[in-house]
Structure formats: structure tokens, C-alpha cells
């Protein structure tokens, strides 16, 4: 009799536990695991992000000039007359920030501009102003079907064309600290050699890079608190 009752109790407790659900089924390691290389998955998941060159848990000490209240902050004074239509918006690094720049231009009501993230060096001669959105994205490069080397080569050719035809160049960095990896900085530095104006979402300046360049090269710089603050900046620049 005791054995029967004990068995019944055991069954009941197991049933009650199952009714509550069990985490163990979700976390138990697999008995057989594939090699580590096979487990590696690129791209984002809800539980793990892969961000080039930026550790979101890294503590940053720099003081921001912009804030919820102060949406933009200028270093130096930009001369709008330098920037004439037609305008080309292109990308160095193929990040999604380039598409955000396109949205800025659309919503700013700028008419005479072309958007081509994969513009070629031969396109440059057709424009008086070239806006280059800097920031490397492995996702963007993958979507465009090109490698880092391809993108670097394209950027170098465009820079050569710029040096030849001399359009006014605006360097945009809209991706914040997330777009401060090795390739992003390499592409950005190429543009800073010829830029007449910089527009930067300020948290990308956590190491003072852009402030230093603005002061050393005497390039006017506008810091944005968020990407959307670029609308007022570009509207004022192009809707003269």
C-alpha cells in the first residue's frame, strides 16, 4: 500500500512540475555539439548583437555638447554658398545611414539631388556637391554583394575623381559610436582629406576624433544629437 501511495505521489509531483513548465528543457546543453566554427552565426539575434568596433558595455567618459534640449552644436562657421546643386549622396561603407541621409534630403525638400550608394568615380563629374556618408557595415556590404576590398577600391577611385573635378564635399557620419571600427575610420579619414564641411552624430566623437580634425584642418563641423536633427541642417544648407 505504501509503495502504491509513494508512486502516486511521485507521479503527481512530476505532473505538477510539468504543468508549471520547465526551464531545463530550454537550457540543457546538447549531448552532442557541433564544432565551434559551425555554431558561429553572423548577424543579430535578440540575445547577442554583433557590432563592428564598438562594445556597448564599454564605459565612455566624454562630455556631449548636444542633448535632448540642445539638438545641434557648431564648431566653426559653414559657408552655404560653397554647396551648390546638383548634389550626389553616396556611401563609403554601405551602412544603412546612407538611406537615412536619403530620407533627410527627401524630408528637407531638397530637389536637385541624386541618391546612389554605389556611385562610381565616373559619376562625380556630374555634381557640384558630393555628400559622402561614412560608416562601414558588414550587413550593408553583404547586401550590396561587395567585399571590404571592393568598397575600399571604389572609395579610392571616387577620391581620385574628386581631386580631379573638385566638387564641394560634405562628410557625414550618422551612425554614432557604432560606426567607429577600423574600416569605418579608414574610409572617413579619406573623405576628411577633402571635406569642406562635416556633419556628425555626436556620440561618434567619444574619443574627440572629429573635434580634433575640425580644429586642426579648420573644417566647419555640426554635431547632431540624433540623425533626424540633420533635417534642419541640410534644409538650411540647400534650401537657400
Answer yes or no whether residue 142 interacts with another protein by CB under 8 A.
Answer: yes
Q: Which is nearer to another protein, 146 or 194 (CB)?
A: 146
Residue 64 sits in the site that holds another protein (CB under 8 A): no
DSSP per-residue letters across 87-134 = EEEEEESB-THHHHHHHHHHHHT--SEEE-TT--GGGGGG-SEEEEEE
Pick the closer one to another protein by CB: 60 or 126.
60
3-state secondary structure of 62: coil
In whole angstroms, how far apart are CA 188 and each of 71, 172, 182? Answer: 23, 9, 10
Q: What Rg do the C-alpha atoms of the chain give, in angstroms? A: 26
Distances (CA, A) of 56 to 166, 170, 195, 225: 39, 28, 29, 18
Cis peptide before 86 (omega within 30 of 0): yes
208 binds another protein (CB under 8 A): no
149 touches another protein (CB under 8 A): no
Interface pattern 11-50 for another protein (x via CB under 8 A):
-xx-xx-xxxxxx-xxx-xxxxxx---xx-xxxxxx--x-
Q: Exactly one of 140, 168, 210, 234 binds another protein (CB under 8 A); which one? A: 140
Binding site for another protein (CB under 8 A): 1-2, 5, 8-9, 12-13, 15-16, 18-23, 25-27, 29-34, 38-39, 41-46, 49, 51, 56-57, 59-61, 95-96, 99-100, 102-104, 106-107, 137-140, 142-143, 178, 226-229, 231
Amino acid at each position: 500500500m505504501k509503495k502504491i501511495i509513494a508512486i502516486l505521489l511521485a507521479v503527481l509531483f512530476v505532473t505538477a512540475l510539468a504543468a508549471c513548465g520547465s526551464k531545463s528543457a530550454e537550457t540543457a546543453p546538447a549531448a552532442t555539439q557541433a564544432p565551434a566554427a559551425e555554431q558561429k552565426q553572423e548577424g543579430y539575434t535578440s540575445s547577442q548583437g554583433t557590432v563592428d568596433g564598438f562594445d556597448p558595455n564599454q564605459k565612455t567618459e566624454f562630455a556631449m555638447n548636444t542633448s535632448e534640449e540642445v539638438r545641434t552644436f557648431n564648431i566653426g562657421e559653414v559657408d552655404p554658398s560653397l554647396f551648390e546643386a546638383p548634389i550626389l549622396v553616396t556611401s563609403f561603407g554601405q551602412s544603412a545611414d546612407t538611406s537615412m541621409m536619403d530620407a533627410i534630403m527627401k524630408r528637407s525638400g531638397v530637389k536637385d539631388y541624386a541618391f546612389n550608394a554605389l556611385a562610381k568615380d565616373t559619376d562625380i563629374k556630374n555634381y557640384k556637391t558630393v555628400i559622402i556618408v561614412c560608416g562601414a557595415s558588414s550587413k550593408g556590404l553583404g547586401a550590396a554583394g561587395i567585399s571590404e576590398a571592393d568598397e575600399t577600391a571604389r572609395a579610392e577611385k571616387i577620391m581620385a575623381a574628386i581631386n580631379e573635378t573638385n566638387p564641394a564635399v560634405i562628410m557625414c557620419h550618422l551612425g554614432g559610436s557604432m560606426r567607429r571600427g577600423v574600416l569605418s575610420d579608414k574610409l572617413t579619414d579619406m573623405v576628411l582629406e577633402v571635406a569642406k564641411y562635416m556633419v556628425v552624430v555626436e556620440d561618434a566623437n567619444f574619443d574627440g576624433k572629429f573635434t580634433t580634425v575640425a580644429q586642426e584642418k579648420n573644417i566647419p563641423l555640426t554635431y547632431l544629437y540624433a540623425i533626424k536633427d540633420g533635417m534642419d541642417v541640410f534644409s538650411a544648407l540647400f534650401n537657400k
